A and B are shown apart, each in its own frame.
Chain A
Amino acid sequence: MQFEAISIEGLSHRFLSRTRPPTTALTDVTCRFPAGKVTSIVGPSGCGKSTLLLIMRGLVKASQGDVKFLYGNGAGALTPGDAPRMATVWQSFNLLPWRTVVDNVAFGMELQGVSKAERREKAMDAIKSVELSGFENHYPGQLSGGMKQRVGLARGMVMSPDILFLDEPFGALDAQTRLYLQEQLSSLVEKSAKTVILITHSIEEAIFLGDHVVVMTARPGKIAASLDVDLPRPRGIDVQNDKRFGELFSEIYGLLRDEVRKSMMN
């Protein structure tokens, strides 16, 4: 049995509140995220991207509809099954402030009961891969926003999950670091054939890293369009000069502009 896709059908979510009318974050989202690919999600701020991630990750129960993990039997038939191993890199970092960088990165392994020496070694490697060597024993409060974000990245990646959820993982980084880590992620994904769901505000990033780009509407979020990124891999950063890249950019930008305008008006 091979994991083939995350499938979402007719999913809606409303946040209930005792003092305010409920907030509808998602309505009737239907979408499929193929395994072994990177699917980028773009959409206006507040359209429900993070909420969709929480629901896919199984941390929030949708008010309607649900998430299925589809497995293939090799003959084309798909059957829903258990969730594969997943890890999340958070938009708001969510690092434990009383733990040092290395203890934060090793937290997941600690929960699994991995021995201290082993988890420390793996955590150190992960810290190195996000260029934070020398900061192992700092506390999150002593790091800049971009450094915290990289700790979050290391913490998620070190779990080597089947599905990696990235919520705006490069948002707090400067242009150079962002480029560097994007390239790293790109080659990692090409090598490991991981399933990645990437939420981003950057259209360039969505195209550069994605095999597909899902564009969401303004709140309440729906899927406005789903595009295939038919650019060859491996991709270097110069893929941005490709004519096809420009076409995709304009198309997504056009879709988003309408949605942003709508979200500003209501």
Chain B
Amino acid sequence: MTDVNRSIAFQAEKPASPPQADERLRDDTWWYGPVAMACFLVFWEVSVMFGSIPELFLPRPSVVVVTLYDLFATKGLVYDLGLTLYRIFGGFFLAAFVGIGLGLLMGMSKRIYAIADIFVAALYPVPKIALVPLLVIWLGTGNSFQIALSALGCIFPILVNTIIGVRQCDEGLILAARDLGANTVQIQRKVVLPAAIPAIFGGLRLALGISIILVVAAEMQTARYGLGAKLQAAGQVLETGQVFAILLLLAVLGILLTKGQDRLGGLVNRWRAN
């Protein structure tokens, strides 16, 4: 009798079909966002056309796209775009490197935490844009200033999230790893770090947004080249079309970077397993 029960119990658990993505699990809402955006643009285009709003005030989307093309074709906007991206990512990666490293150390060592925490608490709430005058005195208005500003803005969300991620690691997992013979380095590398990855990624996500904001804002104040600088210049001479074109470029950049991070998140999850 027990034999019968046994085979029932186990057969019921065998996966019914070979591992294959189920039709019903496919994401069928992916086109909602793009369609909503297209509707919005059409509405904008049509209402400007028929509402006789002056172009100086609100240009049509089609005009904005043409202007953007012009900027790339004749005004060398690629250079500004490249420069801005360089500043954004320069600061971001610098902050990621230092922030994750320091965060891991602070999360894992009580002593390092005790020393570093007071500095973090003091610097975290300072509005980073308030550091512009000081940084300009120290670094001038070149790339190193932009990158330093961006890094300062990025480092805290990354650092704080990394510490939280490390601390949240389930004590039981560490015990299990020690039970299986893990040494300290193995525990950090194979348990604590992978456990902290989602939190670290949350920090990186926040940081990239902050980096874009800070770099563009700083470029508007001090730079000659870069998207922020071009935006400021266009605004001063009332080139509304150009203003919108650069805003459009920034928006597209935002979308691309966000989606890119999602992809990267998937890759990192695969890395976590080793």
Contacts and interface: CB of A to CB of B under 8 A. Distances in A.
A180 B273 contact: no
Interface in B161-197: 170, 172-173, 175-182, 186, 190-191, 194-195, 197
Nearest to A85: B181
Contacts of B182: 111
A13 to B, nearest CB: 15
B26 interface: no
A94 B9 contact: no
B272 interface: yes
A134 B6 contact: no
Interface string A91-111: 010111011100100011011
A137 B272 CA distance: 15
Given A134-B14, A147-B13, A57 B181 contact: no
Given A135-B15, A237-B2, A88 B10 contact: no
Q: How large is the interface on A (under 10, 10 to 19, 20 to 34, 35 or more residues)?
A: 20 to 34
Interface in A103-132: 103, 107-108, 110-112, 131
Given A94-B173, A98-B194, A99-B273, A177 B9 contact: yes
B179 A107 contact: no
B211 to A, nearest CB: 28
B5 interface: yes
**Which residue, B170, B177, B181, B269, has most C-beta atoms of chain A within 10 A?**
B181
B194 A94 contact: no
Given A90-B176, A107-B177, A176 B273 contact: no
Given A59-B175, A86-B179, A111-B180, A98 B272 contact: yes
Interface string A174-193: 10110110000000000000
Contacts of B5: 176
Nearest to B5: A176
B125 interface: no
Contacts of A134: 14-15
Interface string B20-58: 000000000000000000000000000000000000000
B273 A87 contact: no
Contact of B175 (A54, A100, A177): A54
A166 interface: no
A179 B10 CA distance: 13
Nearest to A179: B2
A54 B191 CA distance: 19
Given A54-B175, A111-B186, A134-B14, A98 B273 contact: yes
A179 B3 CA distance: 10
B2 A92 contact: no
Interface size class of B (residues with CB under 8 A): 20 to 34
B260 interface: no
Given A90-B172, A96-B194, A98-B273, A176 B178 contact: no
A143 to B, nearest CB: 10
A137 B195 CA distance: 19
A159 interface: yes
A96 B177 CA distance: 9
B76 interface: no
A86 B178 CA distance: 11
B19 interface: yes
B4 to A, nearest CB: 9
Contact of B179 (A88, A92, A131, A174): A88
Given A100-B273, A134-B14, A111 B2 contact: no
Contacts of A92: 172
B2 A108 contact: no
B40 to A, nearest CB: 38
A59 B178 contact: yes
A108 B181 contact: yes
Given A59-B175, A87-B179, A174 B9 contact: yes
Closest CB pairs A-B (n = 7): A108-B180, A94-B176, A94-B172, A176-B5, A88-B179, A98-B272, A176-B9
Given A94-B172, A98-B194, A180-B9, 20 more contacts: A59-B175, A59-B178, A59-B179, A87-B179, A90-B175, A94-B173, A94-B175, A98-B197, A99-B273, A107-B190, A111-B177, A131-B10, A131-B13, A147-B13, A176-B2, A176-B6, A177-B6, A179-B2, A180-B2, A237-B2
11 contacts: A59-B179, A88-B176, A99-B273, A100-B273, A111-B190, A131-B10, A135-B13, A155-B180, A174-B9, A176-B8, A179-B6
